[in-house]
Structure 1
Amino acid sequence: MQPQVSPVPFAARLPFFFGWVIIVVAFLTVAVSVTARTAFSLMFPPIVDEFGWDRGLAAGAFSFGFLVSAVISPVVGRVMDKRGPRFVIEVGVVLTAAGLLGATMMHAPWQLYATLGVLVGAGANCMSFSVQSQYLPNWFVRRRALAIGLAFSGVGVGAILILPWLQTIILKDGWRSACWALGLMTLFVLLPINLIVTKRPQDLGLLPDGAKEPGVAAARRAAAIVDPHWTAIEWTVARAIRTHRFWWLCIGFFCGGYAWYAVQVHQTKYLVEIGFSPMQAAWSLGLVAMVGIPGQILLGALSDRIGREIVWSIAAMGFAICYAALLALAAGPSEPLLYVMVLSQGVLGYSFTSLMGAVVAEIFEGPHFGSIFSLLMVSLLAGGAAGPWVTGVLYDVQGTYATGFAVALGFSVLGAVSIWFAAPGKVRMVAGRAKG
């Protein structure tokens, strides 16, 4: 007779199981929240057509919401430290839903700024990259970047599935119906599932990485420490900003935001101007988000094995290659160069999102991590605001994108250099390099 094998009790499987539940919740939250913000580009044409507002005036609502997100980011970080992610995310759900539903009743430009600009922009900021990066690193240590990459791949999935669905609603029933559909989805999907979110697994009597023995988890964390003096410090914002590592991270985050948004805003217009069809230009933008999904996951997992510095540099070089390809395309349309631009930007560049929270957590882990990370996010958002604007100004002055793209390429290289000076690997080793 075969010996009977006792089934593993559910409670014994709970740590591992619940960690995956947290990833799924984060995946869905990021997919809907980021899509809610980017859906502005779909609402923009019919709103301008209906009200006859200037394009600059209407588009300014998105930029204004982006600016508000940067301003409130430090406040969000402090609230995260005090109240935890559940409170912040649920506030974001309510704000986003209110903005989408309220937009259906607008009649004046200030109402566009208040709803699709401020409420949706600030609400999405309370649910997406910044907030998710502040608590997911607490749940995963050994596979930290892989977990974050899986969660953030929801952005690409949302772009692939939700945006076409919204466009169908707009074409059939109008932009107000699309706002209603997305607003109700945000409210009724994200509000209940985020009730289970907690800041740390210890809050539920669990341990990071699904570990079952506190001693094993502690041993793993101890084995990863390279600089015990640094990790023994309780890092506050005041202490962090007095370190060179903080400012190198600021430079890295600024450069990442600059490179990311400069190409995202200007590439479609540029590709059409140099001879590609509008359909090819639109297709390439969508493909970037699609190929970004495996890039985020695979390169995030790779950084858990070989180190954050190397993969951060790979991501930065992805944008550098992207801009080099764009500059080369000035000679004329070339499909191979177009593929190089798309793949380097998506597969390599988008892996930044898997690394942001992991890098900061390994340097400034502690009770004030949320406040420190949010301050760094201001730098990223500042880069995201500066990149498109500076690139556009340089084009207006010179009548060409050559200098603007060259400047962005330079920022990409600087971003790669900055991570080596921040040196998270000299504070804590990743699991692939740690013993135990």
Structure 2
Amino acid sequence: MRYVLPPAKAADPPGADGVHAIARKPSPLARLPFYYGWVIVAATFVCMALGVNARTAFSLFFPPILQEFGWESSTTAGTFSVGFLGAAALSPWLGWLMDRHGPRAVTLLGTAAMVGGLLLATLVSEPWQLYATLGLLVGGGSICLGYSGFSLFLPNWFQRRRGFATSIAFSGVGLGSILLLPWLQGVIESQGWRAACWALGVLVALLVTPLTLLLRKRPEDLGLQPDGAAASGESEAPGHAAIADPVWAATEWTLPLAMRTRRFWWVALGYFWALYVWYAVQVHQTYYLIEVGFDPTQAAWALGLVSLIAIPGQIGLGHLSDRIGREWVWSMACLGFVLSYLLLLAMRHWPGEALLYAMIGCQGALGYGMTSVMAAIAAEIFQGRNYGRILGALMLAMIAGGAVGPWLSGLLRDASGSYDLAFVVAIVGCGISAGAIWLAGPRHIRPVGRFVL
């Protein structure tokens, strides 16, 4: 069934997100010698370098917490899953908060939750306390400072360079990991995991809070146009994406309307399995590498190197996605995770550095490239004034996958005595995710690589 909007008035051209722009007096920020969208990219780069890696750091806290308390691995890994459940509770409101109050409110909320969780984690003595602090507060707060939170508004700033700009912003996670995670591992080894939580909480508070002042929801708020094109009414009109399905693209998408389409559920399925395979390996990788014979410091460096190698991988794949399409790059990312899981399985029998670095390369250069197209896929299918609410609902699928992946992998490991079955399940999930995004088919609505100028 197709839903058609009345044609828009000619004098009221749509903005980047499909919202009909209201004429605004240009902000002084519009007079900068460069496009303000790149300021948004830079602020996102730093915020995500800290916000995402503060959550990733649980992989480093995992072994010393197990050693200190003697809890089962599934019980401790459940902290990560509880964090995703907290994020799931917040997710439906996150799109609403973004649409009503903008990115600064979302980012400040995430910062307060994350800092509070990290500082309170130093007082943990029972599993429920670990779940409440490193789980609910840090995990729930990280959705505001991670891929999901910034995906709610970053695509508004770019059209022609959407994949490229997003990949640069999100590659901050890689640089943050190579700087932050080894430093945290050093603090853990010298002063303990509690001291590391305290230090990380203070760092997030000091660096992220002032950066929120730079964030804006869309370029039209400053009298600008996407990609830095000339403002409406000036001599140069902004470029806009080619449309393959004018009826779909003209539809005023609401969340209930989107949920009645197959594309919504294909995207949800693809996102679920993507986050499943991503966080299953992220949470258990350090412990697994130590289990098969690697030094704890080497295992921690491996986690950091994955994200470091992801920097050129994300940027390259993001740029490539603007040329060949989101589906191809998503499939390449899924292939990267398949190869990394196969190499992890091989390391149980041949735990050498060659396989370790091959795994790091596949996971970082290919697998993490998924982030460069995740926001673009949803934006190109459901672009419009309600995009935040729709993506907020799709986040539930991401969060569910991220919650189930670490928990089920730990459960399968405890039940079978090895990670073999857990990794096989993840490999199957990679294939499901790739197929689902092809069936969603953003290329059938707004094909990339062709823009009308």
Q: CA deviation at 1:330?
A: 5.2
Deviation at 1:201, TM superposition (A): 0.8
Q: Which moved more, 1:157-166 or 1:270-279?
A: 270-279
SS in 2 for 1:17: coil
2:446 is matched with which residue: 425, 428, 433? 428
CA contact (8 A) 1:149 1:300 kept: yes
Please state how far the C-alpha of 1:257 moved relative to its aligned partner. 1.2
1:51-109 C-alpha deviation (Å, 9 max, x unpaired)? x4635555543332222112221121221122211111111112222222333455655
Match of 1:389 in 2: 407
Cα pair 1:252 1:415 within 8 Å, conserved: yes
Shift of 1:280: 5.0
Are the counterparts in 2 of residues 15 and 212 from structure 1 also a CA contact under 8 Å? Answer: no
* Partner secondary structure for residue 120 of structure 2: helix
* Residues 1:365 and 2:398 aligned together: no
The 5-angstrom pairing of residues 8-87 of structure 1 reads 14=32, 16-44=34-62, 52=69, 54=71, 59-87=77-105
Cα distance change, pair 181–400 in 1 and its aligned pair in 2 (3 A): closer
Shift of 1:395: 4.0
Counterpart secondary structure, 2:253: coil
Cα distance in 1 between the residues matched to 2:291 and 2:193: 29
State the distance in 1 between where 2:46 and 2:359 align: 28
Q: Does 1:187 align with 2:205?
A: yes
CA distance in 2, matches of 1:368, 1:53: 47
- Equivalent of 1:120, from 138, 143, 159? 138
Which letter does structure 2 place at the counterpart of 1:352? M
User: What does the per-residue CA deviation read over 1:270-325, in whole Å, with 9 as the maximum and x for residues that have no partner?
Assistant: 44555555555444333222211111111011101111111111111111222333
From 351, 356, 365, give the equivalent of 2:369: 351
> Given residue 165 of structure 2, which amino acid in structure 1 is its aligned partner?
A
Structure 2 CA distance, aligned partners of 1:128 and 1:88?
Answer: 11
| Aligned with 2:432 (options 411, 414, 435) | 414
TM-superposed deviation, 1:242: 0.7
1:289 corresponds to 2:316: no
CA gap of 1:435–1:91, structure 2 versus 1, over 3 A, is same
RMSD (Å) for aligned C-alpha atoms:
2.7
SS in 2 for 1:214: coil
How far apart, CA to CA, are the structure 1 residues paired with 2:155 and 2:312?
20
> Is residue 96–residue 123 contact of structure 1 (8 Å, CA) maintained in 2?
yes
CA 311–13 in structure 1, closer or farther in 2 if over 3 Å, else same: farther
5 Å-filtered alignment, 1:91-106, equals 91-105=109-123
Shift of 1:27: 0.7
Partners of 2:50 and 2:151 in 1: how far apart?
A: 16
What CA distance in whole angstroms lies between the structure 2 residues aligned with 1:229 and 1:217?
Answer: 27
Q: How many residues align?
A: 424
Residues 63, 117 of structure 1: 8 Å contact kept: yes
Q: Distance in 2 between the 1:290 and 1:248 partners?
A: 31
- Residue 175 of structure 1 deviates from its aligned partner by 4.3
Answer whether contact 1:22 1:197 (CA < 8 A) is retained: yes
Structure 1 residues 361-370 or 313-322, which shifts more?
A: 313-322
Identity within the alignment, %: 54
TM-score under structure 1 length normalisation = 0.88
Q: Deviations over 1:152-205 (max 9, x none)?
A: 111111111122333334444554543343223222221121112111110111
Q: How many angstroms apart in 1 are the aligned matches of 2:347 and 2:407? A: 22
The equivalent residue for 2:180 is: 162
Provide structure 2 residue ranges, at least 5 long, that are not aligned to the other structure: 1-27
Tell me by how many angstroms 1:145 deviates. Answer: 1.3
Residue of structure 2 aligned with 1:196, choices 209, 214, 229? 214
- Aligned residue number for residue 231 of structure 1: 249
Amino acid at match of 1:200: R
Following superposition of structure 1 onto structure 2, how do residues 251-290 of structure 1 map, counting pairs within 5 Å?
251-274=269-292, 281-290=299-308
How far apart are residue 352 of structure 1 and its match? 0.8
Q: 1:429 to 1:218 in 2, by over 3 A?
A: farther
The structure carrying a bigger helix percent of its residues is 1
Structure 2 contact 340–362 (Cα < 8 Å) conserved = yes
Q: Please tell me whether residue 143 in structure 1 is matched to residue 161 in structure 2.
A: yes
CA distance in 1, matches of 2:371, 2:112: 25
Residues 324 and 149 (structure 1), Cα distance of their counterparts in 2 relative to 1, 3 Å cut:
same
Tell me, which stretches of 5 or more residues in structure 1 are unaligned? 1-9
8 A contact 2:82–2:136 mirrored in 1: yes
